Structure 1
């Protein structure tokens, strides 16, 4: 993947989040000597996790958006994402808790989710469908 050699260049990257890790990988691939500085005990930024009392919690993204971006990144280094992590489609996607004790499991199926939202607020199902259509159009436009 290297297009240009950085030779004897030394680079310090502050922050071991996803962006910092990607920058470090590209710079190292181009020949730079890279030092990554991260204040936390683990890298990953918002893609981290914490463990408390036998439970594990993701500290960041729970949805895997734009998988082709990850596939392209790993592919540029001769790998596939599946070599490093397993993905599992969750259904329900997530659970919402309200102050009054009510809760709702938001299903993975978009139409089922729209029906759930509509059951809580008139017009919410249609608004959700419109949002998904707008997001799909924006995604296609790039």
Structure 2
């Protein structure tokens, strides 16, 4: 006869359904009972207003969003939340987003990421930068309404 097992199967950590900041605080008010099937998206932007707006737009579209005010802790957040898509502000004080993208591409653990570079600059300038650093996409902050479709497209694409 076999003894009943006292060990329960390991549980997979639940990813947040609400956008959260680096301290785990919710940055939008969406229903916690609706866990989206979309992959988690990491948003890194030093502007609190822009970061919250990006989180709101993606959260409303059903994405799980992890938000950071700087690149510090980005690798840990990517690994912990199994993020496959990063929305990255280009102009940040600690390190430019395009330089951080270059570091991601050189890192074997992070090379799979799809990265969207975002800025308040013109899309023409961003498209030039996209070619230089091999970003998966670029987006002007004045066109955030395009972000959910862009993230969905990248989520369905293998890198």
**TM-score (norm: length of structure 1):** 0.25
Higher relative contact order (CA 8 A, sep 6+): 2
Larger Rg: 1
Structure with the bigger percentage of helix? 1
